[in-house]
A = this chain, B = another copy of it.
Amino acid sequence: MPQRRPRRTRRPVSIHDVADAAGVSPTTVSHVLSGRRPVNAATAARVRQAVNRMGYVPASLARSLQAGSTSVIGLLIPDITNGFYAELAKGVEDAAHHIGYSVILCNTEFDPAREDHYLDLIRGRFIDGMVYAAGTPPTEARLESLLGRFPIAVVDEDVTGLPQSLSAMADHYQGGRLAGEHLRQLGHRRAAVLTGPALLPSAAQRARGFREAFEGDVIQLEGTWLEQSGAELMLQCLDSDGFDRTAVFAANDQMALGALAVLHERGLAVPGDISLVGFDDIRVASLCAPPLTTVHQPAYDIGRTATAQLLQYVANGEEPPTSRHLLPVHLEVRASTGPAPA
């Protein structure tokens, strides 16, 4: 004999309440709302009226539990204030919203603990999938227990040797090559490369592409992806004995902006004394002074593509196949690069 609910707090209206009010069973209410089976017109009208009068909204939580999926995915990125990730996020959100999914913003600030915390969302099945663009080195160790067991799209990073499902990234190597060729054709022979974390394939590929196309004398300094890091590395360069570089390739635009600020501080002309190339082509790259020559990356498309791919399978309860999307890049030549000084 069912006991009446305690009713301590103002409990939300449930499907049961509506059913009682309309004089039907919860099943019928459910079907009126879902349309998954025919309901007598008059009955349906009564139910709808009760729904409106009582302001009933189905508890999506209960619905999700029953359905076994939440229609929510995660987007794991290191820094939403970086224009690249913001564009990426927009692409992810667009693709997700397009088929009724929502996106949890997992902003990690490059903090492994925070990353782990957010990965627990998928372990606990609160999210149906994850778009993973961590930007942190120990990517593999952190992911290996997840890939293959959960729907994850690895984005912007070329994680190899793992049972990964989906991936989408820009052609980092080719981007590096474009930067290198450009500077070589301008007559530069001695360059500095301010890279991202050496353990990241993306950072390594950009640097390698640059070196192979530049074919000159290259010194390489490792940093994080942050503006601050670009500034520090640039300072380190300038303060080293016998610094003689005429060109700098920064692993992303944020670092390039940091480097640019330092060059300005030191009274060095860009590109008069030193040419500077970035990577990403975030909005500010075309607005800063001088406008930055940089490798354009289709951030929005990367996010949109990866998410659409992921959800195509997740939404059907299928297991995503292994795939690797390589998106094209191109060089945006602006005013931060010029002929090598004599």
Contact = CB atoms under 8 A, between A and B. Distances in A.
A54 to B, nearest CB: 13
A22 to B, nearest CB: 20
B125 A317 contact: no
A86 B93 contact: no
A283 interface: yes
A268 interface: no
A92 to B, nearest CB: 9
Given A105-B93, A257-B287, A57 B12 contact: no
A121 interface: yes
B81 A283 contact: yes
Contact of A289 (B72, B123, B289, B317): B289
A191 to B, nearest CB: 24
A64 interface: yes
Interface string A43-68: 00000000000000111111011000
Interface of A: 9, 12, 57-62, 64-65, 70, 72, 75, 80-81, 83, 86-87, 89-90, 93, 97, 102-107, 114, 117-118, 120-121, 123-126, 257, 283-284, 287-290, 317
A107 B93 contact: yes
16 contacts: A12-B125, A59-B65, A60-B125, A80-B93, A81-B86, A81-B87, A81-B90, A89-B105, A93-B105, A97-B114, A104-B105, A257-B287, A284-B288, A287-B288, A288-B288, A289-B289
A87 B80 CA distance: 8
A117 B93 contact: no
A221 to B, nearest CB: 23
Nearest to A120: B57
A114 to B, nearest CB: 7
Nearest to A71: B126
B70 A61 contact: yes
